[in-house]
Structure 1
């Protein structure tokens, strides 16, 4: 860690420490300066008081991710502050914190709804769909017809014959989904949490079992990123897809499928109007 980076890290730690109310943590006594003392932060973080002092003074060296997590908890940092601390201390963001979600806030749903000709969904790191727009319901899957616990992209890709029949290139689509799912789950530290889902799919689908055993890992970038469907109502449909991060929610991703031509967009709008 450079001297400048170490000093910036120390300044940030000190600013977060001095904003905290000692009484709310059970620390009493008269104080000449606001906030917690350095030794109190070290106590809460279960690290050496001397070493924490060195960190604030810009001479503690590069801390480990585990120590930074303890300091985050000790200083009651927000998610954005936690990310900033990791960027200062390690030059990279922290691991994604996974949260169980039932839906999204109204602002994000309005973003989805504004994309009238572009099927769009919000998915979790485990590929559960938690929000969608009307175009997605018409073109992809009507998620409202599925129980909340069954709105998993892998489940209906490998178990729903109608979904499979719509994919003009089912094998390549399925391989991509399995490889990207594996990468997302590992990035979010959820390998153990999806064990039941993986076991269920391996038992139910020989295709999934085969692809899962290949241990292929894929990302969302690269390639032509085009989804080709043979839709029972719309006929052949080609959609270019892009993945976007959700502000303040690193555990969520928004996938937008954009029609490749104006004619397809109009066909989707007409179908949505009749939905």
Structure 2
């Protein structure tokens, strides 16, 4: 069963009168619809068929998914979704927007952006559509005792296993909006104390963030994080003003854990979708001592890990 199966109807004004035809709407509404259309296309084109269990086929020329595939995944009428990407002047229900958000695997910030552009109220504003599948979450746990995390290019922490959740601080105790590696590296005392090369890590993250942000300069979530960090951290203000973009960095990281001691770990990243989409980052021990300490950390009771 698809949502809104009938063709979209033109928008109506007060009292049911027909609204101005498409192309004569107020300029701000037209700009918002155009931005919504571009945003939907960009999210659709970043998802591969394989990510959602669809065959690629020999004749695929569309980057990412086709429009009809998004409509099918979201159980939404193809016409409705097509008209959204064409910036048509139509009214779309929150239920349809929710279905589109799930089909496009939007994260929390992207979902909020979608509803804002559509001029609709999100019925479930706390809902997360990160695209972290059940299979990927199972893989995270199977990597234990090696720390593993799924991040997006904004350094939001989307999912993690219990070892990573205890490596730098107690992630479970943090509110969702603070689970961002940039925010934690610049503001969280325990996270900062655990980093063996804090200054180098901050510079590398800021440089990678700036490089990634080139494709997201107009997106509210990116601008909001920069503003939040600028207000909270003098170190961030200084580094950000230097406009550095990606520096070479060693894959071997040193962590100092308050209970198990120092750990030398090699970082490996695997993209779960088209670069720069979400990535799986995991750490493997450089030596036997680090391996033993990882096993000790993973085996700690939850109550002790939170101390």
Report the TM-score, using the length of structure 2 for normalisation.
Answer: 0.56
What is the Cα deviation at residue 262 of structure 1? 2.4
2:178 aligns with one of 135, 150, 153: 150
1:111 aligns with one of 100, 114, 139: 139
Question: Cα 1:218–1:248, aligned 2, differ >3 Å: closer, same or farther?
Answer: closer
Deviation readout 1:114-141 (Å, 9 max, x if unpaired): 1112111111221110100011012133
**Aligned partners of 1:234 and 1:191: how far apart in 2?**
43
Larger Cα Rg: Structure 1 or Structure 2? 1
Residues 175-254 of structure 1: pairs in structure 2 closer than 5 A? 175-187=203-215, 189-193=216-220, 194-218=222-246, 222-247=248-273, 251-254=277-280
1:271 aligns with 2:302: no
Q: Is the 8 A contact 2:150 2:280 kept in 1?
A: yes
Question: Cα 1:266–1:159, aligned 2, differ >3 Å: closer, same or farther?
Answer: same
What is the Cα deviation at residue 249 of structure 1? 8.8
Report the TM-score, using the length of structure 1 for normalisation.
Answer: 0.62
SS in 2 for 1:85: coil
**Aligned partners of 1:111 and 1:273: how far apart in 2?**
18
* Structure 2: gaps (5+ residues): 9-36, 50-55, 65-103, 109-127, 302-307
Q: Is the 8 A contact 1:124 1:251 kept in 2?
A: yes
Q: Is the 8 A contact 1:117 1:258 kept in 2?
A: no
What is the Cα deviation at residue 98 of structure 1? 8.3
Question: Cα 1:248–1:203, aligned 2, differ >3 Å: closer, same or farther?
Answer: closer
What is the Cα deviation at residue 258 of structure 1? 1.2
- Please name the residue that 1:261 is paired with: 287
Question: Cα 1:272–1:207, aligned 2, differ >3 Å: closer, same or farther?
Answer: same
Aligned pairs, how many? 197
- Please name the residue that 1:99 is paired with: 106
What is the Cα deviation at residue 158 of structure 1? 0.7
Deviation readout 1:166-216 (Å, 9 max, x if unpaired): 1221110110111111122324x2554211211111111110001111111
- Indicate the RMSD between aligned Cα atoms, in angstroms: 3.3
- Please name the residue that 1:17 is paired with: none
